[in-house]
Amino acid sequence: MVEELPYRELRGPLLWLFALLTLVVNLLVLNQLLNLGFLVKFTLIENRYLYLLAAFTLPLAYLAYPLSPQRGTSLAWYDLLAAFLCLAAGGYFAWNGERILAQGWEYSAPVVAIAMSGVLWLLVIEAVRRTGGLPIAVIIVIVSLYPVVADKMPGPIAGLSQTLPDTIAYHVLSAESAFGIPMRAFGELVVGFIVFGVALNHTGGGKFFNDVAFALVGHIRGGAAQVGIVSSALQGSISGSVISNVISSGVVTIPAMKRTGFTPKYAGAVEAVASTGAVLMPPVMGSTAFVMASFLGISYGEIALAAAIPALLFYFGLMVQVDAYAARRNLQGMSPAELPKLGPTLREGWVYIAVFAVLIYFMINEKQEALAPYYATGLLLVINQCMPRHRMNVTRFLDYIAATGRGLAEIVAILAGVGFIIGAFSVTGLAGTLANDLVYLAGNAPFVLLVMGAVTSFIFGMGMTVTACYIFLAIVLAPPLVKAGMDPLAVHLFIMYWGMVSFITPPVALASFAAAPIARCSPFAVGFEAMRMGSVMYFVPFFFVLNPALILRGPLEEIVIVTVTAIVGILFIGAAIQGYLIGVGPAEGSPRGMLARVLLFVSGLLFAVPGGPGVGLGHVELALLATALAIPAILLIRQHRPAAPAAQGPSATS
């Protein structure tokens, strides 16, 4: 089975040290967010705060993750040395925080500061390799050192050059590189949500969401697959991790799907696609959304609200396809005896609903995005201790703290690493040059620029995490799209969506590779099936970037009209892909059936594409064209209804 990163199971004093560092990080964050001044009115300036945050968080990566899985997971002397150097380097820069600002060290650093910058640069790169893998570490190394040879690059990617010492110093000492936007997002927003997500899972939240999904939709047609969709959406919306969502939810849902007649590749694809989309699902999206809030200078709550309708449309399209697939094969729901009862499940898990209400209240009503997860986590832990079934003892609490520390270590390493990419483009001036070149190549045609952006996002999403891909493209691609007149929030969400596509699209398809061993079939079979099922994800970003009403940017009546037509359009697109229109019947592989599916697909696109200046036609004109195509498609399906297939049982495995 595919597992998450091979972390160490720390024991004894090392576990206590790991937990202590994790608690120090959280106390440091709370001190800064609440402006406590360490209770003695000693307020940290921002760069000192970020350096201290790195000093206490980066050692977690070396304590939790080994040099390589092949060498085993035991702690070696060089791991302890690296952890100590992280503390020392971060502490050195925190101590000199005021001098860095006052004396402009990012451009004229003393020799000691340059040497310490080199040490910290190497430590961050190795932490990225341990937590994110070799490909992203190599990309970061190459791009971060680009300023050294920028003047020797061909015209479009040429820039102002820097010496190697100046480049390394700039990366660590400037507010435009590693300790810029990514680390600010980490220190202001990300930490609290990691604490909250881990707390939910360690107090039984994952099981609760699975049980709710089984109770709600397990009995309907194709119920086992619908459970996979709902449970992945619920769990992924709080975990923000595609792979962990596939594994934690898939071990339950994929066998249930196979048991009720779904083929292995289809079962794996359902879980892969549902888990991928979950990172786009409010209220707690992945760490990318927090970085986006910092880039755009808006609240995280505004981003979460904007992402709601596109995420729900994506899941609606997925559920439509599963229902059509089940209808064509006469796959029934799960037996009531296998399913939990909704009432008892909600009575036992009401605490999770309460903490979500608290989280949303403080995020939306009180505008306290940074503190909201801490309030919700505090309430959860207090109530949890009053519930005998999930009550934490010392051992379980230490496990929770350790899991939180591992989550912090992964994120801080990636964010600091991709900060080097920002720094490289900043110091050379390449970001503006690339933006102008892209506008020139697109010929000022916004749609061409969008297609170029989608392809670029997809390619970069293969080799980078979603956050790294987003940060890179937010610097290079977002400015020309915004310059072309598109809504900034829609543009940034567009980039994030297309960065996610690589999780389900071969040859990379990480979510599919995680689901395939559980489904016991080829990863590429799962990947191609997931690509077809997740096709809505390829279209939705174009819909909301062409008309931001889908992300709640516009008059209420337009938002309602665009949402309703998008629902109809996605229903038709899903029916065309799976060959079954709900309420009408199957469109099989005969020439008449294929024609009906083509008409339905085009009709669905016309319904779903929001009318407006970006399209050239209004809502009414598009809806009339779509209806004119949908009517003959429906008539073709009704005139040619083949006999219903016999029910497939658990033996269907291919």
Instruction: For 481-501, write each residue's pLDDT tens digit.
Output: 887 788 899 999 988 888 777
Under 8 Å between Cβ of 3 and 247: yes
Distance CA 142, CA 40 (A): 44
Higher pLDDT, 475 or 459: 475
Model pLDDT, residue 283: 72
Residues 6+ apart with CB under 8 A from 419: 171, 177, 178, 179, 180, 181, 182, 183, 471
Model pLDDT, residue 122: 96
Instruction: Tell me the per-residue pLDDT of 43-83, one tens digit each, with 9 for 90 and over.
Output: 889 999 999 999 999 999 999 988 877 666 678 889 999 99
Average confidence (pLDDT) over 84-108: 92
Domain end (from 158, 182, 206): 182
Residue 4, pLDDT > 60, answer no
Under 8 Å between Cβ of 320 and 393: no
Q: What is the largest CA-CA distance in the chain?
A: 82
**47 is a domain residue:** yes
Model pLDDT, residue 649: 47
pLDDT band at 648 (very low <50, low <70, confident <90, very high): very low
Residue 96, pLDDT > 90, answer yes
Residue 5, pLDDT > 60, answer no
Q: How far is CA 514 from CA 3, 201, 271, in A?
A: 8, 20, 10
3-state secondary structure 34-91: CCCHHHCCCCCCHHHHHHHHHHHHHHHHHHHCCCCHHHCCCCCHHHHHHHHHHHHHHH
H-assigned helices in 260-286: 264-278
Q: How many CB atoms lie within 10 A of CB 393?
A: 8
Q: How far is CA 354 from CA 262, 358, 360, in A?
A: 35, 6, 10
**27 is a domain residue:** yes
* Torsion sign, CA atoms 637, 642, 643, 644: negative
**599 is a domain residue:** yes
Could you give the percent of the chain with pLDDT greater than 70? 89
Distance of alpha carbon 382 from its chain centroid, rounded?
29
Under 8 Å between Cβ of 372 and 362: yes
pLDDT band at 654 (very low <50, low <70, confident <90, very high): very low
State the Rg of the chain over Cα.
25
Residue 476, pLDDT > 70, answer yes
Distance CA 124, CA 178 (A): 9
Average confidence (pLDDT) over 19-33: 93
Token pair belonging to 244 = 């962990």
Count of helices and strands (H, E) across the chain: 30, 2
Query: In this structure, what are the phi and psi dihedrals at residue 298, rounded to the nearest 5 degrees?
Result: -125, 170
Distance CA 549, CA 183 (A): 32
Q: How far is CA 580 from CA 317, 320, 602, in A?
A: 13, 10, 15
Number of domains in the chain: 2
**561 is a domain residue:** yes
Higher pLDDT, 295 or 506: 295
Model pLDDT, residue 394: 86
Residue 274, pLDDT > 80, answer yes
Distance CA 193, CA 566 (A): 31
Under 8 Å between Cβ of 1 and 516: no
**277 is a domain residue:** no
Average confidence (pLDDT) over 577-604: 86
Under 8 Å between Cβ of 196 and 381: no
Instruction: Tell me the per-residue pLDDT of 591-611, one tens digit each, with 9 for 90 and over.
Output: 888 899 999 999 999 998 876
Nearest to 203 by CA among 19, 24, 375, 382: 382
Query: In this structure, what are the phi and psi dihedrals at residue 140, rounded to the nearest 5 degrees?
Result: -65, -40
Residue 121, pLDDT > 90, answer yes
Look at residue 194 and give its three-state secondary structure.
helix
DSSP for 590-627, please give it. Answer: SHHHHHHHHHHHHHHHHHHSPPSTTTSS-HHHHHHHHH
- State which H helix or E strand residue 585 sits in: strand 585-586
pLDDT band at 461 (very low <50, low <70, confident <90, very high): low
Model pLDDT, residue 92: 95
Average confidence (pLDDT) over 424-435: 75
Average confidence (pLDDT) over 384-409: 85
Model pLDDT, residue 507: 62
Query: Terminal CA-to-CA distance of the chain, rounded, Å?
Result: 20
Distance CA 542, CA 615 (A): 11
Under 8 Å between Cβ of 199 and 351: no
Distance CA 24, CA 87 (A): 13
**584 is a domain residue:** yes
Instruction: Tell me the per-residue pLDDT of 550-569, one tens digit each, with 9 for 90 and over.
Output: 898 888 888 898 899 999 99
Residue 21, pLDDT > 90, answer yes
Look at residue 443 and give its three-state secondary structure.
coil
Nearest to 87 by CA among 113, 115, 112, 51: 51
Q: How many CB atoms lie within 10 A of CB 177?
A: 28
Model pLDDT, residue 348: 82
Average confidence (pLDDT) over 139-158: 85
pLDDT band at 614 (very low <50, low <70, confident <90, very high): low
Rounded to two decimals, what is the model's pTM?
A: 0.74
Burial of 111 (0-12, 13-18, 19+ CB in 10 A): exposed
Average confidence (pLDDT) over 620-625: 87
Higher pLDDT, 231 or 264: 264
Say how many residues make up the chain: 654
Domain end (from 142, 165, 182): 182
Residue 647, pLDDT > 50, answer no
Burial of 141 (0-12, 13-18, 19+ CB in 10 A): middle
Instruction: Tell me the per-residue pLDDT of 330-350, one tens digit each, with 9 for 90 and over.
Output: 888 888 887 888 888 888 888
Under 8 Å between Cβ of 285 and 304: yes
Q: What is the mean pLDDT of the chain?
A: 83
Domain of 175? 12-182
pLDDT band at 452 (very low <50, low <70, confident <90, very high): confident
**425 is a domain residue:** no
pLDDT band at 193 (very low <50, low <70, confident <90, very high): confident
Domain end (from 167, 182, 197): 182
